[in-house]
Amino acid sequence: MKEGTKLVLVSMLVFYFFLSIFPASYHLPVSFIYLFSILFAGGLALLITCPILNFLTIKCNFLTFLVMGTLLLTGVLYLMKMFMIDFAINDFVFEGLRAANFEIKKITAPPIVAIVLVSFLSALLMSIYKELDRKQ
């Protein structure tokens, strides 16, 4: 119970961190209850990753947690995009990059790219956290 609570709280913080990094793509709710429910759903998705992997008879390690966490968070974010009030995901806009002779123009991608990017980054940071927090 104690380990699960800690994992949910850390997952909620990581999820909020990556949602707030892309303010042009994610419109977070103003209401605390809606914001908490979004973060709690993301935290629960990352909490049930290892039990789902164990059910599928797959060992829960860094790589499998990363892949399954990305899939679960992508599904949760997509469902919240469809059904959650005051939560919107807009097109992902990369403003471009210029360094010496290397230049990338402005890129606009559909909202699914923003969903997958935040899901992957959140799952990556949580898999690193789980590996470092593992009791030896």
DSSP conformation letters of the chain? -HHHHHHHHHHHHHHHHHHHH-TTTEE--SSHHHHHHHHHHHHHHHHTHHHHHHHTT----HHHHHHHHHHHHHHHHHHHHHH-TT-EE--EEE--EEETTEEE--EEE-HHHHHHHHHHHHHHHHHHHHHHH---
What pLDDT score does 68 carry? 95
| Percent of the chain scoring above 70 in pLDDT | 98
What pLDDT score does 7 carry? 87
What pLDDT score does 126 carry? 93
Q: Quick: pLDDT tens for 66-97.
A: 999 999 999 999 999 899 888 888 888 877 77
Is residue 100's pLDDT more than 70?
Answer: yes
Q: Which residue has the higher pLDDT, 37 or 100?
A: 37
Average pLDDT, the chain: 89
Q: Quick: pLDDT tens for 102-119.
A: 888 888 889 898 899 999
